[in-house]
Amino acid sequence: EIADELKGTDKIILVKNPVNPDLPLWIGALERLQRAGIEKLGVIHRGFSTYEKTKYRNIPEWQLVIELQNKYPNLPIICDPSHITGKRDLIFDVSQTALDLNFDGLMIETHCNPDAAWSDAAQQVTPERLVEIMNDLRIRKTSTSEEDYVSQLGNLRSRIDIIDEQLLDLLKKRMDIADEIGTLKKANNVAILQNTRWHEILGKMILEGEQRNLSEEFVIQVFKAIHQESINRQARIVR
């Protein structure tokens, strides 16, 4: 209905991401507006809902936005760190990550007295703090070849930082399950080390790693470290 009403107009339309991390749904909204003849399109990334508790109000899911950038390299993308974080002390870091990933702009909520705001008080900053954030942010977009290399390198490193954080979240989840296994083993007086199970896991991961172009040596080192940490945690529980 919105697309139909806008047909034939020359409006600037910014499409916020859907509540769930669904890239085709987001793209579908853009395509529907394009079919209505709307040419001045952009998107706003405000994060996605999750059933898990995280440090963010809405998880960023940066990789999904990177995929959107790859599909539509000329589409303006604005980040809304206020709604992503839900906390004013995280706004700077999310804003910097967005700029490192070549976002085109930021939407930051500000209030002369944030704690007295009628809504979203925890995520708003004072005008003075907004000026500080703007002054401290580093803009990496450049034009010369050497500076362009630095900009691209910064972009790739930011993407690695995002994945590293996701890896830590996954490792924590895995160790939480290992703790539950340790508790179960203690209750049933079962030995911590189960060699058969361990070799099954390692063999499977080596094969899975080969399909992902990961060397056997690398996979073995990683999963040996994970397994040892799991054993250590279970041992502490049993003791």
Q: Which residues contact 124 (CB under 8 A, 6 or more apart)?
A: 82, 88, 109, 110, 111, 114, 117
pLDDT of 120 reads 93
3-class secondary structure, 107: coil
pLDDT of 140 reads 67
As a CATH number, domain 165-238 is 1.20.59.10
For 41-70, what is each residue's pLDDT tens digit?
Answer: 999 999 999 877 778 999 898 888 988 998
Contact at 8 Å (CB) between 133 and 98? no
Residue-range domain boundaries for the chain = 2-139, 165-238
pLDDT of 14 reads 96
d(CA 123, CA 110): 9
Calculate what percentage of the chain has a pLDDT beyond 70. 97
- How many residues would you count in the chain? 239
Calculate what percentage of the chain has a pLDDT beyond 90. 61
For 139-198, what is each residue's pLDDT tens digit?
Answer: 865 555 677 777 788 888 888 988 998 899 999 999 999 999 999 989 998 888 888 888
Single-letter code of the amino acid located at 131: V
For 89-132, what is each residue's pLDDT tens digit?
Answer: 999 999 999 998 889 999 999 999 999 999 999 999 999 999 99
As a CATH number, domain 2-139 is 3.20.20.70
Kindly report the pTM of this predicted structure. 0.66
